[in-house]
Amino acid sequence: MILRKVWGSVWNRSSSGKDPVTNHHHRTIQVPVSSLSSSSSLGAFDQLPMDILVQILIMVEPRDAVKLGLTCKAWQCLASDNRLWIFYLQCCQEPWDSIFFAETSLRSGYPLRMVSCQSGELSFMRIYSQRAQVPGSIIIDGGSGYCKYGWSKYASPSGRSATFLEFGNIESPIYARLQQFFATIFNRMQVKPSMQPIVVSLPLCHFDDTESAKASRRQLKTAILNVLFDMNVPAVCAVNQAILALYTARRTSGIVVNIGFQVITILPILHGRVMRQVGVEVIGFGALKLTGFLKEKMQENNIAFQSLYTVRTLKENLCYVALDYKAELSRDTRASMEVAGEGWFTLSKERFQTGEILFQPRLAGMRAMSLHQAVALCMDHCDAAGLTGDDSWFKTVVLSGGGACLPGLAERLEIELQDHLSSSIYNGVRVVPPPCGVDTAWHGAKLISNLSTFPGPWCITKKQFRRKSRLNLW
């Protein structure tokens, strides 16, 4: 029956001029041409063309392909071919480029070991099997505004809440606030903390490279781990939020611009490490200021609203960044939307004036560095530091955070950088919009959570944590 289906499938495809090996998502692989030794035999299948044999393996699916590979050396040679297992991985829920990046760049764990690794050096047959056995983990991505949480096997976060930095009584000790926060998430997800690993993003705070800033970062990370291990979580992976955003963009080096709730941070990252010694730039306003500025403009134009939530909704759905601010002032930019419970709202120039304060803070009465000036300064510092043999590592700029999702922001930033950087530094610069919108960091954690080597090299267990704490090595 399989042979009949395969023969009909190949005959139809060859008649219509299509490639011999495709699947229902129109992905293709090359037909393996592994040379079988003369002593190897496929028995009754010896006379079949190679593309028919590959079709058989594809149609019997992964588990039976492995069983066929155990019958003889010839089938084993076909069944272990990387291109076959790449095909199977392409049929998974995750995009293939995410899988390939993760398995070639992140599988060694943190700190990253930047060893050139081509697909031919990995056994994707083994990777397929290992990924199928990876335990589900809970991802908790906290920031200065909102926290996203959910299962690593899901396509997106399942819930949101106030972040743990602002959760509960601000006067209460950090341990008590963290404990209340994590307990709330576990209750909402209806899971026991002891049942699965946790991947938690470390918020962007204490930006300097001073000893006091390092101590503050260690204190926060230690508090998070203490709370989770006291709740009997089996293993914890804690990674900087900006690094996770960079992973989502399929990069291990670059500059991450995070437009957070309160501040904007520009972080240079090399091989998965924040280069604080090079310099982290901080702008003293963030997404909250953008919302507040839009609120002021709406009040000036006598646009009535009931809450700041309405203003934020309008900002997220109607506002954008103009490529040419002066030219945009002369255009008709009116647009309308309905906010549930409040009716219809129409905005005009407010739509692009809101995002413009990122580039002209004086419009909002602020004496602060503009976004493009801060990024250009960071790039100048990276170039002067001479950390690598070439300067390509800092020329990918990845935007993250809710405020970075304004349409046109990436394109405008790229234009402004051209005017503020020397031609030698600007050559090759590329600004990437938030790859997954407001959930960009969460998806970076998802890449780690679904690795074939997870949780091993990425996580710390309770026993390891207690040992490090006793030795004062944390």
Selected residue with higher pLDDT from 6 and 441:
441
Selected residue with higher pLDDT from 468 and 105:
105
Q: Identify whether residues 243 and 143 lie together within a single domain.
A: yes
Q: Which of 365, 386, 421 is the last residue of a domain?
A: 365
What percentage of the chain has pLDDT greater than the value 90? Answer: 67
User: In this predicted model, what pLDDT tens digit does every residue of 386-429 receive, in sequence order?
Assistant: 999 889 999 999 999 989 999 999 999 999 999 999 999 999 99
Q: Which of 331, 347, 365 is the last residue of a domain?
A: 365
Check pLDDT > 50 for residue 21: no
User: At 120, is the pLDDT very low, low, confident or very high (cuts 50, 70, 90)?
Assistant: low
When the pLDDT of each residue in the chain is averaged and rounded to a whole number, the result is 87
The answer to whether position 402 is within a domain reads no
User: In this predicted model, what pLDDT tens digit does every residue of 319-353 receive, in sequence order?
Assistant: 999 999 999 999 999 999 999 989 999 999 999 99
Q: Identify whether residues 221 and 146 lie together within a single domain.
A: yes
The answer to whether position 48 is within a domain reads yes
Question: Total domain count for the chain?
Answer: 3
**H-run or E-run covering 461:** strand 460-461
Q: Find the domain containing 185 and state its range.
A: 138-249+438-471
pLDDT of residue 54: 81
pLDDT of residue 166: 52
Of 15-19, 413-417, 436-440, where does mean pLDDT reach its minimum? 15-19
The contacts of residue 363 (CB under 8 Å, 6+ apart) are 293, 353, 356, 357
Q: Identify whether residues 191 and 170 lie together within a single domain.
A: yes
The answer to whether position 85 is within a domain reads yes
Of 13-27, 257-271, 326-340, where does mean pLDDT reach its minimum? 13-27
pLDDT of residue 29: 44
User: In this predicted model, what pLDDT tens digit does every residue of 142-193 receive, in sequence order?
Assistant: 876 789 999 999 999 999 887 755 554 555 688 888 998 899 999 999 999 9
Q: Identify whether residues 347 and 445 lie together within a single domain.
A: no
Q: Identify whether residues 158 and 197 lie together within a single domain.
A: yes
What CATH number has the domain bearing residue 72? 1.20.1280
The answer to whether position 73 is within a domain reads yes
Check pLDDT > 50 for residue 24: no
- Mean pLDDT of all residues in 117-142: 86
187, 231 contact by CB (below 8 A): no
Looking only at the bridges linking them, the beta strands covering 138-141 and 198-202 are parallel
3-state SS assignment for residue 450: coil
Q: Identify whether residues 127 and 144 lie together within a single domain.
A: no
- Mean pLDDT of all residues in 235-255: 97
The answer to whether position 147 is within a domain reads yes
User: At 2, is the pLDDT very low, low, confident or very high (cuts 50, 70, 90)?
Assistant: low
The answer to whether position 206 is within a domain reads yes
What CATH number has the domain bearing residue 176? 3.30.420.40
The answer to whether position 172 is within a domain reads yes
Check pLDDT > 50 for residue 28: no
User: At 222, is the pLDDT very low, low, confident or very high (cuts 50, 70, 90)?
Assistant: very high
Question: In Å, how far from its chain's centre is CA 293?
Answer: 29
The pTM of the full predicted model, rounded to 2 decimals, is 0.89
The answer to whether position 66 is within a domain reads yes
d(CA 275, CA 280): 8
What DSSP line would sit under 7-26, residue for residue?
A: HHHHHHHHHHT--SSB-TT-
What CATH number has the domain bearing residue 341? 3.90.640.10
What DSSP line would sit under 124-184, residue for residue?
A: HHHHHHHHHHPPP-EEEE--SSEEEEEETTSSS-SEEEE-TTSSS-TTS-HHHHHHHHHHH
pLDDT of residue 31: 42
User: In Å, what is the CA distance from 425 to each residue of 123, 327, 386, 390, 396?
Assistant: 39, 28, 12, 11, 12
Q: Identify whether residues 146 and 126 lie together within a single domain.
A: no
What percentage of the chain has pLDDT greater than the value 70? Answer: 87
